[in-house]
Amino acid sequence: MEKVIYENGISDTLEKPFSACWIVCSPHGDSNLIIGETDKVKEYWGSLDDSFDFQWYLFNSKEEMDTGIKQITKEPAPSGEWMLFTVENCVNGLYPNEQNGGQPIMEQILDVTYVSVWDGGFEIETKAKFNRDTMQVFDIESVEGIDDEGDEVEILEEEYILLSDGTKFYVEEDGGKYIAY
């Protein structure tokens, strides 16, 4: 991943076919990461009046770009939260936060179903949040652990989360944090 400042066509990006450019549109706005083919990202960026901050990352392939995006977004966003947009979903002249068509391609925090299995198979389902970058599960809704017969549950057998698409991750407590694997 090559990091450059691109301004007024000064930086040579012709040999790097894929790019990610982060744009902050207001002093307290999110860090919008626009990704895609370099020429399209440059065209979109050039259609904007101005932005408060920007930084370019250049890649040799789509695979390298996908890996680079994971590396970039593991760090805290320069402003607000990371919001990722494919350049094809961006409307020239409109900032990502002004668009109806642009959609984040990755939201780091997901709403999930947290399932704890007790006493030979009794399942308790609650709501929770999941950060898919750090794999941490948090804001787990607390409920009273009473089985169908009115008895208090005693032995925890396993814990897991279910994503909206049905993906299942087992959960373990590690140093007071719940981590999915």
At 129-175, the pLDDT tens digits run 998 767 899 999 999 999 888 999 999 999 999 998 889 999 999 98
Do 64 and 92 belong to one domain?
A: yes
Q: List Cα–Cα distances, 136 to 21, 62, 108, in angstroms.
A: 27, 27, 11
Tokens of 141: 């809704």
> pLDDT at position 170, please?
97
Do 116 and 62 belong to one domain?
A: no
Do 117 and 84 belong to one domain?
A: no
Cα within 13 Å of Cα(15), Cβ side? 4
3-class DSSP assignment, residue 56: strand
Task: Evaluate if pTM is beyond 0.75.
Answer: no
> pLDDT at position 132, please?
76
Say if residue 8's pLDDT is above 50: no
Do 52 and 141 belong to one domain?
A: no
Residue 174 or residue 83, greater confidence: 174
Residue numbers of the domain that contains 137: 109-180
Rounded distance, CA 94 to CA 142, Å?
Answer: 42
